[in-house]
Every structure is written in C-alpha cells, then in structure tokens.
Chains A and B, each alone.
Chain A
Amino acid sequence: MKKHYLYFALLAGILFSACTSSYKSTQMVDDVYYSPARNINTYDTRQDDVVRYADPDERIIRMRTYDPRWRYLDYDYNYYGYNYGYNYYGHNYSPYYYGYNTGYYYNPFYYPVPVYTYNPYAYITPRNTAIRKSNLAVYTQPRSTFSDPKTKSPAVISSRDLYNNSNSSYNRRVILPESRKSRNTYSSPDNSTRSYEPRSSTPSSSSGNSSGSSSGSVNRPGRGN
C-alpha cells in the first residue's frame, strides 16, 4: 500500500508544481463546452516570410551563423567521390575515414574491401510452425449432462457444484456419466475413446509442420532409469 501513497504524492507534486505555470488568459478555454477561434498573428508570419525569402545571400549568412557546417558550402564539389579527403582544412570530416586520411590513427571499423558474410549454402534449421491449438469439439458438444438440483435444467458444472474437497463419492455419483469402474471403457456418443489407433498410412515425415522438410526421431529415455 505504501507504493500507492507514493503514486499519489508524485501526482500531487506534479499537479501543484504545474499550477504555478503562468498563462495570460484569466478564463481558460474548455473545449468540451465551447472553443473560441484561435488568434493567429498573420502579420508576423508574413514578415517572417519577407525576411526568409528576401535575399539569398542573407539566407546563406543566416544558415552559416546557425551551423558551422554551412560555412564551407561552396567547397563541397568532391563530396561524393574523387579526391576524397581534402577541403579547406586539408581533410573532409568523415567518421569512417578518420585516422586513415591523416595516417596517424588506427580505425578498427574501416575495411577497404566490402565483406559479404551471406552463405547461400549454409544450413538453416527450419522453423516449426505448429499452431497453438485447442480441441474445438469440446466447445461444440454440450458440456452439461446432469441436472441442476434446483431448476432441473441442464447446467454446466461449476466450482460451487463441486464443492467437496474431501473427494468423497458425492461428486462422482452425481457427475459421472458412468461409474468409475466403467470409466476406462466409457464411450461417448462421438466415439471419443482414447484408443491407440495410429493411421498406418501416415508417413512419418508428414507429421512435421515446419517449412522445411527435415526431421529426426527423438527416443524416449528408458523407463526405470
């Protein structure tokens, strides 16, 4: 519970500190009720446009003032290719060539020849694409085969109906469609007995669900080990 108080304290702190922020309007707009048109100072915008597009040279000066990289805009003719490495200071800046151009430093990331690591013949383990399944028949068959003692109508077994942790015979007498003794041979109408009847025609490889085709057998550990 202490964490809850911390959350509240944190929230309250944010609320009260934020309340001190200033805002010029005395009546704050609530858009749920009414939202007046917003004032847009179009005059200032136009003035800014005048400055922005008036003089190309001035524009470049402004750019160079803001960012030193634009100061050498006129010297970038070899930016992409030949003569790589030389400019106003003698070298273009490149984080990948740094050191090699000057010859002073070793750069472990620089390798002059492209390296391709893709090997088309490398063995890639196929992924198993078996989906997360459920026995859909469980949902379609009626789950309720005993009667509610009060309403006499069919009902699903609920935890309350099975309230008996002593595991006496109460549950099984009421719930079991047949006695426990006959349970192993219980046969539901849809033949859902658990007989071991593998389809002999099923080839072993067809059981795999992967996008690849390879599969190997897995042996069970010996019993009694």
Chain B
Amino acid sequence: MKKIIPVVICLSITFSTQAQTVEDAKLYSWYPQNGTARILAVGGAMGSLGGDISATFVNPAGLGFYRTRDIVVSPQFSFLQNSADFRGTHTSLNRNMITLGPSGYVSGIGPNTRGRKSVALAIAFTQTANLNNYISYTGLNNYSSYAERFAEEFAKSGLSIDEVLNTNSSIPYTVAPALYTYLIDTVRVNGDLQIRAATENLLDAGNALKQQFSKETKGGIYELGIGAAVNTNDKWLFGGTLGLPIVNVNTTTTAIETDTSSSTSNGFKSFSYTDHYKVIGGGVNLKLGVIFRPREYIRIGLALHSPSFIFTSEEHSSSLSTQLESPSGAAENYSVSSNTFTNGKPGEADYRISNPWKAILSASYVLREIADVSKQKGFITADIEFLNYGASRFGTYTSTVAPDAKQYYKDLNQVVKDYYKSALNFRVGGELKFNTIMTRLGFAYYGNPYKDNALKASKTLLSAGLGYRDKGFFADLTYIYNLSKDNDFPYLLQDRQNTFSQLKTTGGSMAATIGFKF
C-alpha cells in the first residue's frame, strides 16, 4: 500500500477515529506555507521579499514590486513515506501524488500619476493544504478495545436501546450500529445492568486483540486569491488579498479487531467498522501586508492573515460487520449500515470552521536592487510566523441543526483552546544569482501545536533549487526533503488509559514553476 502526502507540504495528518472534530482544528491549520518553486526553495519565506506570485497568499504587499506581467503555473509532485509505530509494531507506506502550487496572473503598472510609483493586481489559485494521506498501523492490545468507545458513548448518552435504534437516531454512526450488531449490549453484572463490548470478554480472560487501523484522506484546502498592492516610491508597499478558500475532504476510517486466542466460546471473533464522511465548503479570508524598504538592500515585511471563515456541509455514514460466537461456539454474523438509522440515506450536518489568524514578520537582504540583471547577486530572507492553533473555532450557521449541536460546538471550542497552543514557525532561505541561472537553499520549521508536552509533533523542511530566467521565460525546480512527526490516538476512552501511535513522514517533493513574462 502506498500513501499520499503533499508535495512540499508534508502535512502530517491526524488519524483519530473517535475525536475527529478536535483534530480537525489542527487539520485545517497545521500545514506548511505553499509557494512557487522559487519560494519553496528558500524555505517558503515570502513575508518581505515580494516580486513573486506567492506574495498573493503570504504578504500581498510584495506584489507591489511588480511592474511587469507574469503568467505562472506551479505543478508539484511528492513521493513521501509514512511510518507508524503502534504498540511495538512498525508500519510503513508510500504514496505519490501531483498537486498545484500558486498559479495565475500578475500585472504591475507604473509609474503612474497621483504620486504612486506603481500598482499591481494578481489573481491566483493554489492548494493551501494538501490533505491527501493514507495511514495504517497494526498492533496487539490486551488492555482496551476500540469497541469500548461505543459502550462508553452509549453509557453517557442516557438513552435506552430503543431510543438509539430508530430510523432517525441521534447517535446513528457509532452506537446504533454497535447495538444492532451486538458488538455492545447490556449485561447484568453483580445485579447491575451494565453496558459491555463483546471484546471485553477476551480482555477479561487475559487474551489480546489484534487491532488494525487505517485512515485515508483525500482532497485539500484550496484558495482563489485576488490581490492588489500599491508601491509608494519604493519605500512603502501596501497590499491586500481577498481569499476565497474551498474545502473538499473525503475521509474513510477503518477499525478492525480480531480475537487472537484459540477460544471459540468467548463470544467474540472479529468486527470491522468503517466510517466515511465528506466535507465540502467555501468561505472567505483577508490578508493584509506592508513592506518597508529603509534602504536599497533591506526589506522588512509584516503580514496579517484573518481567520478563514469556511461554511461546510458534511455527509456522513458508517458500516459495521460483527462476527460473534454463541456459547456453543457457533458463528453469528451481523452487519448494518448507518443509513438504517438516518432515514435510509447518509446524514448531513452543516457547520462553520474558522482557523486561526496569523501574523508574519519578515526581513530580507537583497543584493542588489538595480535594473542591470548582471549585477543582481542574490538575497537572504527569513520569516517568523505566529499563530495560535487553539484559536480554531466551530459553530453552526443554519437552523437545521441537531438540538445539541450549539452546546457541543461551544464545548468543543473550549477543548480546542485547551488542547492546542500557539507556536512560532520559522522559514529562512537564500538565493545566489548568476545572471540567468540561480541556485537556492532553504529551511523551514513548524512547531508543536499540542499543549501536552508528552505529544511531540513538528515539521521540518529542507529545500534546494535551481532557477533559470531569460528571454521572457522562467523556470524553477526545487527539491524539498520533508520530515514530519505527529501522534495519533486510534480511539480515546474516558475510563481507561489510552495508547497512541507515533507517526513519522519522510521523503521528497519536487516543485516546479514555469512562467512567462510579457
């Protein structure tokens, strides 16, 4: 099996089946800066450099350096490897993919009247975050079971079996299928009626379950940006971009547990649970920036990104197949789809997401900013980016929501705030220019979004690239080495200790940019 991951952009993707929405906060905010091959080669640092279409999505004031016109397309390819360590078992998967970096049209005009040296407009499209990913890991567990999450959720719901098992259930994707297939049921223990998972029988007997988890995510976050900038006498440049983000994510999660004992009378043999949801949405954001040039060589930039307010619609379904054993050892097979409990069709939920606002402080040293190309020798540029991953918010925006949705999102926002923290991200790189040929190196580091120190996560990108510019044509080619670490809880139980897998993504990405100047 191979696995996808972004180009440049090795998004390490969370893989959690129980608590997806909490992890959604990270999914929609913890990803590297995308850019053209030239900008990715210098680590993605673009907060003060300008003169590249990537400025549309980083610091739109950088568009103000344009006085010519560019048409740019930026294909990207990735071939990364995901590995997971889960309870002593190591799993590794590869997957390749193609995506698109900033592509579009920029036009600069100047000098003009009214004391403004030049103005520039850009319309560009990019994949902000590539969420294509596939992760799978396996392990043995003699302590807890995925099925116990269904038992726990049912116990906390306060609902009776009949209230859960109906054609318009309030917990149709998890508890209803588990009850229907007898993966969980009520059992009298010491005179008390308790809710138990069938898997607990063999755990109590000291046996282990073989656990297999996989999660496939397809799609990403895209953005159409319309940017404009004003260059005031090459000293102060101001810019803004109206961004129209688009979210399109398909996620399929599978959990399989199998009895590893030789017993045929412990009541459980195996189950396979699949959860699928599709999120489609659109929204808006705003990016504002300023670049100050105190002298010819120096550029200082500041950019502020508003949260992206994205309005989504989610289609959700699940299925469960359970193989049980009767006391006599006979096999009992049960299967059901969640559509049975959602009026015969997948359930739908509308909600809004806002990811964190972001601030980028940047500086560049450019040698030299003169018309004679042969005397342009290179530049060094660096960005410091601040954002609070705990600032992601969820909420409703339609009247047709579940009765408990508003309170749930309110609680969820508090958990997100407590679970994630703010972080500083760094990007630095430089270019050496030899008339028509350019060489580049870059580095980027994205810090840990988790507040819990025991959860280690980071993204490191090392990049190197070549560029060619002559006769109205330019081409850039960049190789990016990705090293990403993250954690994943396959399920979380409130009344048990929880275990998680450690994820690691390594591998390379190739980014290319081809453009024409006219």
**B188-207 near A? 1/0 per residue, CB < 8 Å:** 01101111100010011011
Given contacts A7-B77, A195-B193, A208-B169, contact A28 B517 (CB under 8 A): yes
The answer to whether B155 touches A196 (Cβ under 8 A) is: yes
A164 at the interface (CB under 8 A from B): yes
Given contacts A21-B471, A128-B343, contact A167 B208 (CB under 8 A): yes
The answer to whether A130 touches B143 (Cβ under 8 A) is: no
The smallest C-beta distance from A161 to any residue of chain B, in angstroms, reads 8
B113 at the interface (CB under 8 A from A): no
Instruction: Mark the stretch among A34-42, A65-73, A85-93, A103-111 that contacts chain B.
Output: A34-42
Task: Give the distance in Å from the alpha carbon of A196 to the alpha carbon of B347 in the complex.
Answer: 27
B residues near A207, Cβ cutoff 8 Å: 159, 163-164, 166, 169-170
The smallest C-beta distance from A68 to any residue of chain B, in angstroms, reads 33
**Interface core residue of B21, B168, B497 (most chain A CB under 10 Å):** B168
B232 at the interface (CB under 8 A from A): no
Closest to B316 in A: A132
The answer to whether A34 touches B473 (Cβ under 8 A) is: no
Closest to A184 in B: B189
Of A158, A186, A190, A194, the contact of B195 (CB 8 Å cutoff) = A194
Of A32, A125, A188, the contact of B379 (CB 8 Å cutoff) = A32
The answer to whether B96 touches A4 (Cβ under 8 A) is: yes
The answer to whether B87 touches A163 (Cβ under 8 A) is: yes
The answer to whether A160 touches B85 (Cβ under 8 A) is: yes
Interface size class, chain A: 35 or more
The answer to whether A35 touches B473 (Cβ under 8 A) is: no
A117 at the interface (CB under 8 A from B): no
A221 at the interface (CB under 8 A from B): yes
Which applies to chain A's interface (DSSP): helix, strand, loop or mixed?
A: loop
The smallest C-beta distance from A16 to any residue of chain B, in angstroms, reads 9
Instruction: Mark the stretch among A44-52, A55-63, A76-84, A170-178 that contacts chain B.
Output: A170-178
Closest to A32 in B: B51
A residues near B96, Cβ cutoff 8 Å: 3-4
**A181-225 near B? 1/0 per residue, CB < 8 Å:** 001111010101111111100101011111110111111110111
The answer to whether B88 touches A159 (Cβ under 8 A) is: yes
The answer to whether A128 touches B342 (Cβ under 8 A) is: yes
B contacts with A, residue count (CB < 8 A): 146
Task: Give the distance in Å from the alpha carbon of A14 to the alpha carbon of B468 in the complex.
Answer: 13
B52 at the interface (CB under 8 A from A): yes
CB neighbors of A among B307-330 (8 A): 314, 316, 326, 330
Closest to A172 in B: B143
The smallest C-beta distance from A208 to any residue of chain B, in angstroms, reads 4
Of B155, B164, B170, B332, the contact of A223 (CB 8 Å cutoff) = B332
The answer to whether B277 touches A18 (Cβ under 8 A) is: no
A residues near B415, Cβ cutoff 8 Å: 136, 139-140
Given contacts A162-B87, A212-B168, contact A145 B108 (CB under 8 A): no
B residues near A129, Cβ cutoff 8 Å: 347-350, 400-402, 405
B residues near A194, Cβ cutoff 8 Å: 151-152, 154-155, 194-196, 495
Given contacts A31-B51, A157-B499, contact A208 B170 (CB under 8 A): yes
Given contacts A128-B341, A159-B85, contact A138 B498 (CB under 8 A): yes
4 A-B pairs with least C-beta separation: A23-B472, A134-B19, A215-B168, A31-B51
- 6 new A-B contacts, CB < 8 A, other than A130-B173, A196-B193, A209-B169, are A35-B65, A169-B206, A175-B143, A184-B204, A195-B193, A208-B169
Binding site for A on B (CB under 8 A): 18-22, 38, 49-52, 65-70, 75, 77, 79, 85-89, 96, 98, 108-111, 118, 139-143, 149, 151-156, 158-173, 176, 179-180, 182, 186, 189-190, 192-196, 200, 203-204, 206-208, 277, 314, 316, 326, 330, 332, 334, 340-345, 347-351, 366, 368-374, 376, 379, 400-405, 408, 411-412, 415, 418-419, 433, 436, 452, 454-455, 468-475, 477, 492-495, 497-502, 510, 512, 514, 516-517
